[in-house]
Amino acid sequence: MKKVRTRFAPSPTGFMHLGGLRTALYAYLYAKHHDGDFILRIEDTDRERFVEGALEVIYSSLLSSGLRYDEGPDVGGNYGPYTQSERKEIYMEYAKKLVELGGAYYCFCSKERLETLTDENGNRKYDKHCLKLSKEEVEKRIASGESFVIRQNIPLEGTSSYEDLIYGTIEVDYAELEDNILIKSDGMPTYNFANVIDDHLMEISHVIRGTEYLSSTPKYNLMYDAFGWERPVYIHLPTIMKDATRKLSKRYGDANFDDFINKGYIEEAIINYVALLGWCPKNNAEKMTIPEMIELFDLSGISKSPSIFDDVKLRWLNGEYLKAMSDDEFLTRAKPFFEKSEVSKLYDISKIAKIIKSRIEILSDIPEKVSFLVERPSFDSVLYENKKQKTDATVAKQVLPLVLTALSEIEDFSNDNLFKTLSSLSETLSIKSRQLFYVLRIALTGLEVTPGGATEILEILGKEESIKRVKSALELL
Ligand code: GLU
């Protein structure tokens, strides 16, 4: 059996769209599931849209998402160059061959003439005007330096058909297609041409890409057929939507991989979530590592209908990844987000990291989550009232002065020691330790719900700040 070879073929736009990342992921998973190769090809023939630094964005997003390509511009391979702008001569050679085969023709029409070709609906469709030029005339005009393009020669009648592994049989009437430009006047190919030449020369067995190419694929098949080349297998993927009517778009800040990283999502969670946008594994797994996805990947789990991006689910999944991290790893990743808060100047963030790791969903939740450590919010003594804990302001009044004395006497301000000492204090007072800890936590934080228990918070705040907070809480009672 032929080796499976898939490719990801982004244009260097300067950002990694999550839809693109999903295409890359599925192409990667499909190849790896079948022990095949995954190739990166840069489609940069539109030189007007060149963006500085765009290649680095592609390389780094794939790398940090864990999608390693076997061949590509920066890693090499036997089918290079992998950057289309470096393959200009190759395309020209094949375009000339296609002209000889009758699948394409030179066109010298001026911009002005093309503008007159608009039909009553405002659609412009080329009228094959230059198809009738003789070979001699074409050669003469090229020799005289006249500017030209090469267009595809699409039959006027008939229907084309092919099988897509997701969408089934696709039929398109040739009349709906146009004689698109294959080689532009600057000698560069268009996507319409370059994708065919490259997929063939790079021996791509399965073309995996977005549904926007579903209806133009018959044009590409005409070229495979004209050259006598085997068509690849096609796998078109459903669109990712923001909601029922809008596509996920960078414009709304909801499609760019880097925007998510900056918001405090982690790469593993994003790639895991992206996998689920249109694919459901047989065992319905949700949290999966890339090796697990490779094992499970199966086209029958890919849906035809557009998938809707679900923020809440991505947040949840991200939280699951944070929880599963070691404390050290969490701290490394969380550090930049701690540094957005005063808290990093005041306290030992490694201790705070431990208490919040399982209580946030995304890293940018950190500054808000720890703001009570920077400044205790003002609160009213009704906050001490809790039926379940059997506490109220009276309990606080009874307990807090003694806690204050105990705190000033404790030398070892570690969570363990604080817990032991204050638990035995509650015994002396004949109250439940959880009552003591409840009112103390309110006094320290001014919040009903906090990450961490009273003694963990004491340890973070340290002796001086803890005493200050309990004192001022007593004054409010
Ligand atoms: N450069 C095309 C894009 O970014 C690639 C489409 C394909 O995979 O064939 O949409």
At 252 the pLDDT is 72
Q: What is the pLDDT of residues 160-192, one digit of tens each?
A: 999 999 999 999 999 999 999 999 999 999 999
- Residue-range domains of the chain with CATH: 5-72+199-237 (3.40.50.620), 88-192 (3.90.800.10), 250-324 (1.10.1160.10), 325-366 (no CATH), 376-475 (1.10.10.350)
| Percent of the residues in the chain that have a pLDDT greater than 70, as a whole number | 100
Closest residue by CA, ligand 1 atom 5: 9
Residue 386 has pLDDT above 80, yes or no: yes
Token representation of residue 211: 């549904």
Token representation of residue 296: 């499970």
Going by the DSSP 8-state scheme, the letter that residue 144 receives in this structure is T
Q: Where are the beta strands (DSSP E) in 199-264?
A: 206-210, 233-237, 240-241
Range of lowest pLDDT (79-93, 116-130, 193-207, 419-433): 116-130
**Is the bond into 81 cis (omega within 30 degrees of 0)?**
yes
Contact 177, 186 (CB under 8 A): no
Catalytic position from the list 88, 242, 247, 250? 250
Selection from 139, 60, 70, 59 nearest residue 106 by Cα: 139
Out of 15, 22, 43, give the residue to mutate to test ligand 1, the one with the largest number of ligand atoms within 8 Å of its CB. Answer: 43
CA dist list (Å): 253 to 249, 250, 340, 360: 7, 5, 21, 22
Q: What is the pLDDT of residues 273-295, one digit of tens each?
A: 999 999 999 999 999 999 999 99
At 388 the pLDDT is 94
Any idea how long the chain is? 477
Query: What kind and span of H or E run contains 172?
Result: strand 168-173
Closest residue by CA, ligand 1 atom 10: 10
Mean pLDDT for all residues in the chain: 95
Catalytic-residue membership of 250:
yes
Residue 47 has pLDDT above 80, yes or no: no
Residues 6+ apart with CB under 8 A from 95: 104, 150, 182, 183, 189, 193
Mean pLDDT of the region 28-41: 98
Closest residue by CA, ligand 1 atom 4: 10
